[in-house]
Structure 1
């Protein structure tokens, strides 16, 4: 009797242990999504980051509170390791709120909405008032030359390309005027710059962002501000009627000595290949006008959620999986550079790094910085994500913070949410928690966890 029962027992187990990997992967991924959507923590974490702490400029008290809070939450997950990685970061403060107006005739003025760009020097104590020259790109400065620019405020008014469906490419096509406009305009004797906000919508909100002077002398640095898209349109139209109008603006920003801060890191150590590392992360710092919910509180809590989901489900990864909350992406990238520097010093083998830094909107897929063989393998998993309406599995960029890990076969990946609304909020006072949809945020975290699961299971 025992000889007959044994084959029958073995045959009965085949559907469980002999099922195809595609079927088991589908079930595992479905379980990840189910748990994220019914028992997720990312929305609550982001609520506290945004509403309990707020904007998190590098080197600020709020940034340190965010470090302390996220480390505490990672500690509570029962990970194998949680630690802080020290990094020195730039410290820049905005000071009292900026003020600006357009003056068409003495005594007749119209207020406009501006904000200092991160890293800018302040205006003189009494503010800056001068005639304005409008340009549409850095290349036009040479055309006008010092004769027409000296003593004036340069108004960079090249909009993002609204016809580009890929909004991040539209952003990339316009952002050089923000980053380098002041340094270039100062070479021609300008006394300040106003830069059209990086925003596809016409509204009254100026958008912050980093700007850089390069190696120009301190006495040649000129103040740089973003002007809202609505006021940029207005200024441009008035300039067509009156070229000798003046703009006044006053800013009180200041650059301080570098400050000590931290990357926040948590790890589940691999069961089979502990010396192979998979990283998932976002940046903990943000600009100060809003509370940084989309940029990049969302990416941080989604990354934390990946490890939480694995712990909750009892999944024991083969490889070591780290969540890294990077400090200082916005105005220096010091956190990303520091993490890569330490990884190199320790000869750590990072096989894959995934960053979420494109907002908390509905996920559409992933882009990969990978070689042809790696990309083919990643794309072979695309059908597993079809039920979740993810369709982007293509060559592209990873993210700024994981960029320094490039090399030695490391694949860099970026979560790609729907981007059409992102630049309405990016770096602006409108980037607040009420713009976050709980379900969209949770779908993003689940999508990241599903991809990390596949990379861990099959390797690259």
Structure 2
């Protein structure tokens, strides 16, 4: 035992020495200005991890407001909450930006069943956003299973009077789960439009998740240009229910599926983006936006999607003020309304920015959950992309290794232009689609330390962008 302990101690000492040597090597490769930046970033992380506010803000938002679907009383309560916490942080100015938003309501809890081999099976199901209701008595019909929109289109009139079951799962060989989501979500969004054209009675869609579980995932859908008389009810069933239904269809291809939902779309409702800013000391006319979306689906508490993004965005401003970092450019925090089913808040923000001739030079969005930080995706010109990637040596000690070209986020993307540098915060995504758009997206699924590391990561890259990207011209550190 003594020899084992000695060997362990030696190994640990050797590892520690290697780590110290690696850090020293990195430190020795930094310029004088980069050493200043490295020290400031360390201070930001220390501050976030010891005196951060994001976790308690998230607790308040999720526990006292809950799910915040656009147009709902909870969404209005969230707006009031957002204005209050921004003022408490002490931003230079805080205001509400009016926007009209869609108002879809779920109604009574959905019901679904089918019978096979004399056994009735209850199915975990939820209506998709913007779907119409079923008739009051529900829908009962035979099921046709398909894997893609193309396969459904090929059926043509064969789907008339049937329920079409879209059952294309995630490609779990894809490491980036958002790519797997992107490879499947068209069946959720467009399935009812395709099948309604040919007289189908309804559409059910496999939930958008890597996991096999019994939690249905909602999300938005669209009828496109389909005439109203051809609109058919659309719902998602859990991935486990999809697996079981697919197996049962192979044994009994004529089984009938029943579902009932009472959702409806009401007239557009008034709402707001919540906006606050720290004015720049040198170039206040230049604006960096940092934001997430305040609305969420109604099934859960909107914790990972996107309560984490909202509180992390505000904590960027809090960490600047807490550490007396005075930005050269204006840092504007925006809680966008209606990302989930319309992006009306994002469109209104961009519209007003153009109308008011505001000069946005960059933006950062957090809308990928609150898990462990991995890096950032960049939507920018070549020069600014290269500059941001050069900061990897400053950011990699904090696990921010993935700094690559890609999209930014749904709410800041309307600001895209040649000299605007847009960035998406990218945490680890492997667990995100366990919770996305489900009743499981609750406060207890968010880890405090992971959330705070994300806030610090975002504050660090905004610190660097403010220092080196102002006046639209990359400045070498």
TM bucket by the smaller chain?
A: over 0.9
Aligned to 2:456: 446
Alignment of 1:319-330 (within 5 A): 319-330=329-340
Alpha-carbon distance, 1:275 to partner: 0.6
Q: How far apart, in 2, do the equivalents of 1:183 and 1:167 lie?
A: 26
Aligned to 1:266: 276
Alpha-carbon distance, 1:103 to partner: 2.3
Moved more, 344-353 or 229-238: 344-353
Aligned to 2:355: 345
Q: How far apart, in 2, do the equivalents of 1:142 and 1:96 lie?
A: 32
DSSP-derived class of the 2:387 partner: helix
Alpha-carbon distance, 1:104 to partner: 2.9
Which residue, out of 53, 56, 66, partners 1:41?
Answer: 53
Alignment of 1:169-188 (within 5 A): 169-188=179-198
Aligned to 2:343: 333
DSSP-derived class of the 1:423 partner: helix
Q: How far apart, in 2, do the equivalents of 1:123 and 1:358 lie?
A: 33
1:420 aligns with 2:449: no
Alignment of 1:236-275 (within 5 A): 236-275=246-285
Q: Which runs of 5+ in 2 are unaligned?
A: 1-30
Which residue, out of 401, 412, 417, partners 2:411?
Answer: 401
Query: How many pairs are equivalent?
Result: 440
Aligned to 2:10: none
Conservation of the 8 A alpha-carbon contact between 2:305 and 2:441: yes
Q: TM-score, normalised by structure 2?
A: 0.91
DSSP-derived class of the 2:121 partner: strand
Conservation of the 8 A alpha-carbon contact between 2:127 and 2:261: yes
Conservation of the 8 A alpha-carbon contact between 1:103 and 1:248: no
Which residue, out of 286, 295, 306, partners 1:276?
Answer: 286
Conservation of the 8 A alpha-carbon contact between 2:372 and 2:451: yes
Which residue, out of 62, 66, 70, partners 2:78?
Answer: 66
Q: How far apart, in 2, do the equivalents of 1:26 and 1:233 lie?
A: 50
1:1-59, Cα deviation, whole Å (9 max, x unpaired): xxxxxxxxxxxxxxxxxx81111101100000000000000000000111111000001
Alpha-carbon distance, 1:108 to partner: 4.4
Aligned to 1:143: 154
Q: How far apart, in 2, do the equivalents of 1:444 and 1:108 lie?
A: 48
Conservation of the 8 A alpha-carbon contact between 2:381 and 2:418: no
Q: How far apart, in 1, do the equivalents of 2:396 and 2:164 lie?
A: 49
1:238-270, Cα deviation, whole Å (9 max, x unpaired): 000111100000001010000000000010010
Q: TM-score, normalised by structure 1?
A: 0.95
Alpha-carbon distance, 1:143 to partner: 2.1
DSSP-derived class of the 2:148 partner: coil
Alignment of 1:293-308 (within 5 A): 293-308=303-318
Aligned to 1:119: 130
1:275-330, Cα deviation, whole Å (9 max, x unpaired): 10001000000001110100000000000000011111111110000000000000
User: Which ranges of 4 or more aligned residues in structure 1 deviate by more than 2 Å?
Assistant: none
Alpha-carbon distance, 1:70 to partner: 1.2
Q: Which runs of 5+ in 1 are unaligned?
A: 1-18
Which residue, out of 21, 33, 37, partners 1:21?
Answer: 33
CA RMSD of aligned residues (A): 0.9
1:88-113, Cα deviation, whole Å (9 max, x unpaired): 000001011000001237x7421101
Aligned to 2:366: 356
